[in-house]
Each structure stands twice: as C-alpha cells, then as structure tokens.
Amino acid sequence: MALPMQRCWGRLRAVTLQCAAGYHAKPRTTGFGGMYKPDPADPDIKEWHKGPKYEAKLYGRYGSASGVNPESLWPSPEQLLLLQEEEKEWYPSLQEMLNNVKQREKEALQKKLERERMIAANMAKMPKMVADWRKAKREARLKEREEKAKKQRLLLLAQEKFGTSVDLRSPKFLEMVKEMEKEEKKKLKAVKRQQREEERAAMTAAIKAATQPKPETDGAV
C-alpha cells in the first residue's frame, strides 16, 4: 500500500518541479511592506492603479509618505453638488423617511375609508336595486305574455279572414297587423283623451266648489 502512494507522490513532485522551473516572476518594484506607485509612463498599468481613487487609497494608507497632495483629493464644487443631490435622492434623512412612512400610512388609511364608504353606500342601495330588478323581471314577463297574447289574437283574426293556411310572413298578414296597430293606437289615444277630460272636469268642479260662498246659517238655537 505504501509503495503505490510513494510512486504517486513522486510523480506529482516531478510534474510540479517541472512547471515551477519554467515560471519566471517579474522583479518586485518595491520591497516587502513597501508602497507600490505605478509609473504613469508604463502602458501596462492597470485601470485600478490610475486616477484619484487609487491616490486616495495610497494617501489613506501611507499618509504624506505617499507623495499625494491631499488638496487634490477633495471634490470640486460641481462634484460636491452632484454628491449632495445624489445623497438627497438615495440617502434621505431619518426625518424624511419617517415623513414618507406617515404619508403612505395616511394615504392607505384614506383609501381604506373611501372603500368602506363606497361599500356602505352600495349596501344601502342594495334593497332598491333588488326591488328594481324584480320589477324589471315582472315587467319583462308581463310584456312577454302580452306579446304572446297579441300574436295569438292576430293569428286567430288572420285565420278568420284569410283561412287556416295563413302565412305569418305574408304581405296580407303584415298589412293587417299594421292596421290593427293603428286601431289600437287610436283607441289608446281616445282613452287617454277621455281620462284627461274627466280629470279636467273633476278639477274644475273642485275649484268651483271651493270658490263658491258658503250659505249663511242662523246662529240662534
């Protein structure tokens, strides 16, 4: 068991040494624990080793030994204004957050109360809506029965006039229906006219009775 393991470790060591022999690291630009300052003229400088952010990092770690002018790390007035606007937008104060929470709670309460008022108003209208629906259903059934009765009456009249083989779509039958509808409209107008005349006569009699002087009566017993 030990022999295969020794062979495996030996091969792994040989491969590792062979790879390590071909690796040549670049010489360090600073000593151990020193400060790395890239050469601005070097085209191979990484992006994170450029700009004010890296200089601020160097100054924060090494101070004046970094050779960085601290005045150059302060933002310009334009940058400071942008930072302030960004802070107001994305980092509101505690009071602003509390005000926003109160405003949202107030709006939610108003919506809840409005919804409850709407439900109460609809519930108050419910009996009338049910009564109207039932009335409409009764009127629709009554109208349907009247239409059936009218159609049956017209059919009987047509059979008496044209025979039993009358066609409900024939011009003669349709003409007869028009004539009967005209007669019914005339009768309905006459009934309404008579009702108006009776109401007018009753109103005239009531006015006359109210305006006539009452007969004087003797007050002696």
- Cα separation of 174 and 187, whole Å? 20
Torsion of CA 26, 29, 32, 37, to 10 degrees: -130
Residue type, 171: P
Q: Band of the pLDDT at 62, cuts 50, 70, 90?
A: confident
- Cα separation of 34 and 103, whole Å? 56
Give me the pLDDT at residue 163, please: 67
Give me the pLDDT at residue 86, please: 86
Question: Please, what is the average pLDDT of the chain?
Answer: 77
Give me the pLDDT at residue 24, please: 47
Domain residue ranges of the chain, discontinuous segments joined by +: 93-163, 167-197
Give me the pLDDT at residue 140, please: 93
- The answer on pLDDT for 99 being more than 50 is yes
Give me the pLDDT at residue 9, please: 59
Place of tokens 């008022």: 117
* 150 vs 26 pLDDT, higher one: 150
- The answer on pLDDT for 77 being more than 70 is yes
Q: Band of the pLDDT at 179, cuts 50, 70, 90?
A: confident
Give me the pLDDT at residue 32, please: 43
How many residues appear in the chain? 221
Q: Band of the pLDDT at 114, cuts 50, 70, 90?
A: very high
Instruction: Give the lowest-confidence range in 135-139, 166-170, 172-176.
Output: 166-170
Q: Decide: 66 and 59 in contact? Cβ < 8 Å.
A: yes
- Cα separation of 27 and 44, whole Å? 15
Nearest to 62 by CA among 42, 37, 40, 29: 37
Tens digits of per-residue pLDDT, 182-194? 887 888 888 888 8
- Cα separation of 71 and 73, whole Å? 5
> Who's near 37: CB < 8 A, 6+ residues apart?
58, 66, 67
Give me the pLDDT at residue 174, please: 76
Per-range mean pLDDT, top range of 1-15, 158-172, 196-210: 196-210
pTM: 0.33
Q: Decide: 166 and 158 in contact? Cβ < 8 Å.
A: yes
Q: Collapse the DSSP code of 28 into the 3-class scheme (helix H, G, I; strand E, B; otherwise coil) and give the result.
A: coil
- Cα separation of 156 and 180, whole Å? 13
